[in-house]
Amino acid sequence: MARIPEEVIRAVQESVDIVDVVSRYVTLKRSGRNFQGLCPFHEEKTPSFTVFPESRRFKCFGCGEGGDVFAFLMKRGNMRFIEAVEDLAREANVPLPRAEADPGEAERVRLRIDALRALEFAAGFFAAVLARDAGKRARDYLERRGFTAGTLSAFRVGFAPDEGDALLRYARQKGIPLDVLFAAGLVRRNDRGSCFDMFRGRVMFPIHDLRGRVIGFGARTLGDDQPKYLNSADGLLFHKSREMYGLNLAREAARVAGRLLVVEGYTDVMHCHQAGLAEVAAGLGTALTRENAQQLRRFGVPVFLVFDGDEAGLKAAERAAETLLAEQVEGAVALLPPGQDPADVIVASGKGPIDAAVEHATDLWTYRMERSISRHGMGTLEGREKAAKELVGVVGKIADPVRFELALRLLAERTGVPESTLRSEIKAPRTAPGAGVGRPEASPAWIEAERHVLRAGLEDTALWDRVEVLYPPARFRDEGLRFVAAAFSDLHRRGESVTREGLLSVLADKDEAVRALQALEPAADARHHAESFLARLAEKERLREAGTSVEAVVRARKDFPAATS
Ligand SMILES: [Zn+2]
C-alpha cells in the first residue's frame, strides 16, 4: 500500500543538498554554519529565513514556516509530495520503484516527467534545424537583429520548420509517444483528427523555469502569420502568467549586480545579455502579472522597469508599476527615448544608455502618481479630484506602513487634498500579503496540542495506547493531522514501529497529511505538553460522565430560557 518506500524517502533526504535546492528559489548568504536569506513565504526586509545544512531543514524565524527539503519544494515549488520526492530522487540518482497504487496519479507524474523530456528534445531539435539549410531564413533574421552565435546558443534559440509535422515525425521516430507530445504542448490535432506541429515556420525561444528546465516556448513568426508571437498553451507544465523569460539566467547576476532589470521582449533580454547585462528578464505576456511580481520580490533586489518611452511603453510601465507597488516590490521606472526599446538602444550605443536610464529612474510611486496627474491635469478642481480618487486606490495597496505614509504625504502635496481626507477615502483594509490565512475550526493552540501528541507518540510509541482511548484519530480537528493520527494507529495496531519516514511513506499521496507531518519538527517539551493535554481531556471526560459540568447546565438554561424563568 505504501506509495514510496521509506528507504527511498530517507535516501533522497540524505543525498540531496537542501542549501542547493533552496538557493534555486532564494538568494542565500552564508552565516556561520548556516545560510540566510529573505523569506519566500512572508514579506521581510532583513533575512530571518535560515537553512541548516546539518539537520537538512529550514526555518523562518519571522513567520514560523519550516521543514525539510520536501516541505520547501511543496510550498515554494508548488509541487505535490510525490513529485518532490521523484524529482529529487532522479537528481540524486536514487532508484524509484514504480507505484501500482492510484494509477491515475502515478500516470500524471510520469506524464509530467516525460513531457519535460519531450520539451528538452524539441529544444534540441529546433536548435539543430536553425543550424541547417532549413534554418537559413531564421539565421538571416537573427543576424539582422544583431545577435552573435554565442548569444543564440546561450538562449538555445532554434527554428521550427514550416513542414507541418517535422517535429512530430522525428519525435515518433525516436519513440516519444503522442500523448506525451500533446502534454508538452508541442502537437495539435485539427478538425479532421490528424496531428501536426504546434509551431511551424517560427523562430523558437525556449522558456526555462528557475531550474533551467525547458517548460515551453515563445515563437516568433518569420512571415505574416498571426499572432506575431505565439506562446506554448497553458498546460501541465507551462503557465504563461507565472513564468518570465531569462529569469533562470538572471538569478545569480541579479544578486551580484544588486538589481534586476525588467524589459518587454525576448530579444530585449538577449540584447541586454549580449551587452553584459545578465540581470534581466521579461514577462511573457503584455503585462507584468501579480505572480511575476511576487517572484521578483523574492529576488530581494530592486526591480527596474526598462521600457520604451513611447505612449505604449509609458502605459505598460504604469500598469507594471502599480502591480509591483501592490505586491510590495521595491523598484523604479527607467524610461528610454520614445520609440526605442532596450534592443534598439544597445544595438545603437551599447549598454551605456541603459545604465544611465536606470541611474535616473523614477521611483514606482512617483511615476504612477505623475501619470494620473498628467492625465487629469492639476489646473481644474475636477482634474485634481479625479487624480486624487484614482490614486487613493493605488496608495491603499501599499502594505509597508512607512512607504504608505510617505506616498500618502506626497499625494497630499501634489493634489492639494489634505492627508486626512485621502486617508478616509481609503476603504480597503491594508493587510500584508499572506495574512489572514488559516482554518477557523480549531484554535492554533489546540492544533499545536494535537501536534505535541503526535510528536510525543513518535518519541515513545507506548503513549499511543492512551491516545487512542482519550483522543482517537477521528477527533483530531486539523484535517491533515487527523490523517497522520489514523495512519499512526494503523501502523501501531499492526505492530510496526512508527517513524516519521514510515508515516510519510504511507501518506505519500495525501499532500495535506504530508504537510501536517512536516510541521511536526521535534520539540523538546512535546511529551510534557502532550501529557497535560491528555490529562485535561481525561478530566473533561470525568466531568462529562458525572453529568455535572457547569457548562452543560449553562447550555441547558440557554436552550430553554422559558423553563428557567
Ligand atoms: Zn517567513
What pLDDT, in 10s, does the model give residues 220-235? 999 888 889 999 998 8
Q: What pLDDT, in 10s, does the model give residues 96-149?
A: 775 555 666 667 778 888 899 999 999 999 999 999 999 999 999 999 999 999
pLDDT at 415 over 60: yes
Q: Residue 301 C-alpha to ligand 1 middle, in angstroms?
A: 17
Q: Residue 509 C-alpha to ligand 1 middle, in angstroms?
A: 26
- Per-residue confidence (pLDDT) for residue 557, from 0 to 100: 46
Query: Is the pLDDT higher at 110 or at 248?
Result: 248
Q: Where are the beta strands (DSSP E) in 292-443?
A: 303-307, 331-335, 362-363
Q: Residue 62 C-alpha to ligand 1 middle, in angstroms?
A: 5
Least confident range from 76-90, 151-165, 326-340: namely 76-90
Q: Residue 302 C-alpha to ligand 1 middle, in angstroms?
A: 19
- The total of other beta-carbon atoms located within 10 Å of residue 88's CB is 22
148 — phi, psi (to 5°)? -85, 165
Highest mean pLDDT among 315-324, 414-423, 525-534: 315-324
Q: What pLDDT, in 10s, does the model give residues 327-357?
A: 889 999 999 999 999 999 999 999 999 999 9
CATH of 6-91, one of 3.20.20.140, 3.10.20.340, 3.40.50.1970, 3.90.580.10: 3.90.580.10
Q: Residue 47 C-alpha to ligand 1 middle, in angstroms?
A: 9
Strands 202-208 and 158-160: what pairing? antiparallel
Q: Residue 64 C-alpha to ligand 1 middle, in angstroms?
A: 6
Q: Residue 432 C-alpha to ligand 1 middle, in angstroms?
A: 12
| Per-residue pLDDT band at 367 (split at 50, 70, 90) | very high
CB distance 255 to 27 below 8 Å:
yes
Quote the pTM value: 0.64
Q: Residue 76 C-alpha to ligand 1 middle, in angstroms?
A: 12
Q: In sequence order, what are the residues at sequence separation of 6 or more whose Cβ sits closer than 8 angstroms to the Cβ of residue 402? A: none
pLDDT at 548 over 80: no
- Per-residue confidence (pLDDT) for residue 100, from 0 to 100: 53
Q: What pLDDT, in 10s, does the model give residues 420-437?
A: 989 888 864 444 433 333
Highest mean pLDDT among 3-17, 231-245, 359-373, 489-503: 359-373
Average the pLDDT over 430-450 and give the result. 59
Q: Residue 535 C-alpha to ligand 1 middle, in angstroms?
A: 34
Q: Residue 59 C-alpha to ligand 1 middle, in angstroms?
A: 8
Comparing CA positions, the residue from 176, 162, 244, 251 lying closest to residue 204 is 162
pLDDT at 197 over 70: yes
**Quick one: cell of 140?**
538571416
Tell me, rounded to whole angstroms, the distance of Cα 522 from its chain centroid. Answer: 27
- CATH number for the region 103-231 comes to 3.90.980.10
Q: In sequence order, what are the residues at sequence separation of 6 or more whose Cβ sits closer than 8 angstroms to the Cβ of residue 339? A: 308, 309, 310
Continuous segment of H or E residues that includes residue 389: helix 381-395
Continuous segment of H or E residues that includes residue 301: none
Q: Residue 49 C-alpha to ligand 1 middle, in angstroms?
A: 6
| Cα(524)–Cα(456) distance, integer angstroms | 10
Domain 244-360 has CATH 3.30.540.10: no
- CATH number for the region 444-555 comes to 1.10.860.10
Percentage of residues in the chain having pLDDT higher than 90: 52
Residue 363, helix vs strand vs coil: strand
**Quick one: cell of 2?**
505504501
Q: Residue 12 C-alpha to ligand 1 middle, in angstroms?
A: 25
- The total of other beta-carbon atoms located within 10 Å of residue 426's CB is 15
**Quick one: cell of 454?**
503526535
* Beta-ladder partners of 203: 159, 220
Percentage of residues in the chain having pLDDT higher than 70: 91
CB distance 446 to 481 below 8 Å:
no
Average the pLDDT over 399-406 and give the result. 86
Q: Residue 44 C-alpha to ligand 1 middle, in angstroms?
A: 8
Average the pLDDT over 447-474 and give the result. 89
| Per-residue pLDDT band at 386 (split at 50, 70, 90) | very high
Residue 223, helix vs strand vs coil: coil
Q: Residue 38 C-alpha to ligand 1 middle, in angstroms?
A: 8
Q: Residue 331 C-alpha to ligand 1 middle, in angstroms?
A: 21
**DSSP structure class, residue 133:** G
Q: In sequence order, what are the residues at sequence separation of 6 or more whose Cβ sits closer than 8 angstroms to the Cβ of residue 434? A: 41, 42, 43, 63
Q: Residues 151, 154, 156, 158: what is their CA dihedral angle, to the nearest 10 degrees?
A: 10
Q: Residue 476 C-alpha to ligand 1 middle, in angstroms?
A: 27
Q: Residue 34 C-alpha to ligand 1 middle, in angstroms?
A: 16
Catalogue the long-range contacts made by 406-409 (C-beta closer than 8 Å, 24 or more residues apart).
406/365, 407/365, 407/369
**DSSP structure class, residue 98:** P
Q: Residue 493 C-alpha to ligand 1 middle, in angstroms?
A: 38
**Quick one: cell of 139?**
539565421
